[in-house]
């Protein structure tokens, strides 16, 4: 078996075990020791992954019977997921030292959740897809409940668990239907079967019917699978868990869910939707994806306007960004827009990691200053802490899609891909642009409170934790650097011929 292809995943797994062992036998705990252990392991995994790519190594999936595909899309998502996990550990270090009773649990669970996400991004097999999703989900459930002294944390974990169980059941039943229809568990074989036998999955046209209709079995499988994966990316109407979970979870866990969970969800969705990229099913799922995109963008941005808690506001912002990204998924359905859609999706997902985690790094610092996540309690903090105020402002403007930040380039490619599908989808682009303008209202409200409102009380002075400062610097460099130098992602994405 080609275990070299699995080296980053194996190292992440060993890092989780090492963190548990160090925590167990460390009689004199020192602040930062467990964070350093987890960060070192993830950094080595990232280094090995980059070394394999630029060292000319071409992985093979034959030894794993097609369960693991170390192809170009998998490499990109693994790269982004490891960066996301590393940044989460950096920004979490001061919070964990002060508020988490057993820090070893936090770092080990972050590594295990990342491990599940890595396999989810690389699998082209239904069984491995489900097992990877469960590893990611169960680790996330426990992370949300980690603040045992906070009732809201327990409440959020219960809601997350219930919604997660329902979505997992939907996805599993949809996958089982797909297996029953095609007789295979491999993405490529299922896609090939649907390509060759697509005609048998539609009702024949009659004198009273002007067009053919998809048979109930395949329609049910498609709807259930899309429903299960839409939960993971927090798309409307599968978003109900997000606001309460974002608010109740510890702040670093919210940051992890906002970036890594969305990355993994879109990695799985992009591969699975490729299975259904056949003549009979494209009109069905493209219409569903377009509807989900409109609902997610509009609902997320409208409800975010009324939010006073910064964590809930970012939950609805995450829902809205799922809508923008679904526009790119929609553009994968046509040959003419496919290349631009791939560029837009990969570029925007990586930028989203830097935008969101940069914002959460500042939120961890400001929450430590005020002991609050209410927006009005942060009045004047941008003036008192200009560096963090500047970083948060840059991340918010990038999330809006304004230059000179990378969020502008990402939205340009996503909207451009939909435009290339033809005039029948221009209405969707218009809705996307209007929603971006709408998001500027509540993002600018945060900036106004930080810099122009008078503080209601003096906050406690917290230390400038070095890892938190480093995370904010990396994220700012990311959103500026990717705007100036986007060509490497564009060149990389243009080499991808197939997602399965």
CB < 8 Å & 24+ apart, contacts of 423-430 = 425/290, 425/330, 428/290, 428/293, 428/294, 428/327, 428/330, 429/327
Report residue 335's pLDDT band, with 50, 70 and 90 as the boundaries: confident
For residues 282 and 351, the answer to whether their CB atoms sit within 8 Å is no
CB 147 within 8 A of CB 77: no
Query: Which residue from 215, 152, 72 is spatially nearest to 373, judged by alpha carbons?
Result: 152
CA 97 to chain CA centroid, Å, is 26
The total of other beta-carbon atoms located within 10 Å of residue 328's CB is 31
Is residue 460's pLDDT more than 60?
A: no
What's the average model confidence in pLDDT over 221-244? 91
Instruction: Please compute the mean of the pLDDT values over residues 126-135 and round it to a whole number.
Output: 92
When pLDDT is averaged across residues 194-215 and rounded to a whole number, the result is 70
Residue 307: φ, ψ to 5°: -80, 135
Domain ranges (residues) in the chain: 281-500
Q: How far, in Å, CA of 276 to CA of 195, rounded? A: 9
pLDDT tens digits, residue range 299-314?
Answer: 999 999 999 999 999 9
Q: Is the pLDDT at 210 greater than 50, yes or no?
A: no
Confidence of residue 98 (pLDDT cuts 50, 70, 90): confident
Tokens of 17: 């075990």
Length of the chain: 500
Give the per-residue pLDDT at 457: 58
Instruction: Output the pTM of the full model.
Output: 0.94
Instruction: Compute the radius of gyration of the chain from its Cα atoms.
Output: 22
pLDDT at position 472 is 93
pLDDT of residue 58: 55
Residue 462: predicted pLDDT: 57
Residue 62 clears pLDDT 60, i.e. is over it = no
pLDDT score for 165:
92
Give residue 61's pLDDT: 53
Compute the distance between CA of residue 451 and CA of residue 443 in angstroms, rounded to an integer.
13
Tell me the pairing of strands 202-203 and 213-214: antiparallel
For residues 469 and 473, give the distance between their C-alpha atoms in angstroms, rounded to a whole number.
Answer: 6
Of 201, 69, 159, 183, give the one whose Cα is nearest residue 122: 69
3-state SS, the chain, equals: CCHHHHHHHHHHHHHHHHHHHHHHHCCCCCCCHHHHHHHHHHHHHHHHHHHHHHCCCCCCCHHHCCCCCCCHHHHHHHHHHHHHHHHHHHHHHHHHHHHCCCHHHHHHHHHHHHHHHHHHHHCCEHHHHHHHHHHHHHHHHHHHCCCCCCHHHHHHHHHHHHHHHHHHHHHHHHHHHHHHHHCCCEHHHHHHHHHHHHHHHEECCCCCCCCCEECHHHHHHHHHHHHHHHHHHCCCCCCCHHHHHHHHCCHHHHHHHHHHHHHHHHHHHHHHHHHCCCCCCHHHHHHHHHHHHHHHHHHHHHHHCCCCEHHHHHHHHHHHHHHHHHHHHHHCCCHHHHHHHHHHHHHHHHHHHHHHHHHHHHHHHHHHHHCCCEHHHHCCHHHHCHHHHHHHHHHHHHHHCCCCCHHHHHHHHHHHHHHCCCHHHHHHHHHHHHHHHHHHHHHHHHHHHHHCCCCCCCCCCCCCCHHHHHHHHHHHHHHHHHHHCCHHHHHHHHCCCCCC
Identify the bridge partners of residue 100 per DSSP, sorted by sequence position: none
Confidence of residue 197 (pLDDT cuts 50, 70, 90): confident
Structure-block tokens of residue 270: 């992009």
**% of the chain beyond a pLDDT of 90:** 61
Q: What is the mean pLDDT of residues 387-410?
A: 93
For position 151, what pLDDT does the model report?
84
In this prediction, residue 18 carries a pLDDT of 94
Mean residue pLDDT of the chain comes to 89
Biggest alpha carbon–alpha carbon distance for the chain: 81
Residue 31 or residue 15, greater confidence: 15
Please tell me which of 66-75, 84-93, 144-153 the model is most confident about, judged by mean pLDDT.
Answer: 84-93
What pLDDT shows up at residue 464?
A: 72
State the pLDDT confidence band at 201, using cuts at 50, 70 and 90.
Answer: confident
């Amino acid at each position: 078996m080609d275990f070299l292809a699995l080296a980053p995943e194996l190292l992440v797994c060993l890092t989780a075990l090492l963190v548990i062992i160090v925590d167990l036998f460390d009689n004199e705990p020192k602040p930062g020791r467990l964070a350093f252990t987890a960060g070192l392991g993830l950094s080595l995994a990232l280094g090995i992954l980059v070394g394999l790519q630029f060292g000319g190594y071409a992985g093979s999936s034959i030894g794993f019977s097609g369960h693991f595909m170390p192809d170009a899309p998998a490499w990109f998502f693994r790269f982004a997921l490891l960066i996301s996990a590393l940044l989460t550990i950096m920004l979490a270090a001061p919070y964990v030292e002060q508020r988490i009773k057993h820090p070893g649990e936090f770092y080990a669970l972050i590594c295990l959740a990342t491990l599940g996400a890595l396999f989810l991004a690389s699998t082209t097999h239904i069984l491995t897809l489900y097992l990877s999703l469960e590893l990611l989900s169960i680790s996330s459930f426990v992370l949300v409940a980690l603040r045992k002294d906070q009732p809201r944390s327990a409440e959020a974990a219960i809601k997350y668990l219930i919604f997660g169980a329902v979505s997992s059941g939907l996805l599993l039943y949809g996958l089982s239907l797909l297996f029953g229809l095609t007789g295979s568990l491999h993405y490529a074989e299922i896609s090939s079967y649907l390509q060759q036998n697509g005609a048998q999955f539609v009702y024949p046209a009659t004198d009273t019917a002007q067009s053919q209709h998809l048979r109930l079995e395949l329609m049910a499988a498609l709807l259930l699978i899309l429903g299960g994966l839409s939960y993971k990316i927090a798309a409307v109407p599968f978003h109900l868990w997000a606001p309460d979970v974002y608010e109740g979870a510890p702040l670093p866990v919210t940051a992890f869910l906002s970036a890594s969970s969305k990355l993994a969800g879109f990695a799985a969705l992009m591969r699975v939707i490729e299975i259904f990229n056949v003549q009979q099913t494209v009109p069905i799922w493209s219409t569903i994806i377009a509807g989900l995109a409109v609902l997610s963008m509009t609902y997320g941005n409208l409800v975010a306007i009324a939010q006073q808690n910064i964590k809930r506001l970012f939950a609805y912002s995450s829902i809205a960004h799922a809508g923008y990204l679904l526009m790119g998924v929609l553009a994968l359905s046509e040959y003419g827009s496919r290349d631009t859609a791939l560029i837009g999706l990969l570029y925007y997902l990586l930028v989203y990691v830097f935008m969101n985690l940069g914002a959460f790094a500042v939120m961890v610092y400001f929450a430590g200053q005020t002991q609050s996540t209410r927006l009005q309690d942060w009045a004047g903090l941008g003036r008192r802490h200009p560096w963090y105020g500047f970083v948060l402002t840059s991340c918010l403007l990038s999330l809006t899609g304004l230059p000179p930040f990378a969020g502008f380039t990402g939205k340009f490619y996503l909207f451009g891909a939909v435009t290339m599908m033809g005039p029948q989808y221009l209405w969707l682009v218009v809705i996307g642009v209007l929603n971006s303008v709408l998001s500027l209202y509540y993002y600018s409200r945060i900036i106004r409170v930080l810099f122009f409102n008078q503080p209601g009380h003096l906050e406690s002075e917290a230390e400038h934790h070095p890892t938190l400062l480093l995370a904010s610097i990396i994220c700012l460099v990311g959103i500026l650097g990717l705007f100036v130098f986007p060509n490497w992602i564009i060149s990389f994405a243009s080499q991808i011929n197939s997602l399965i």
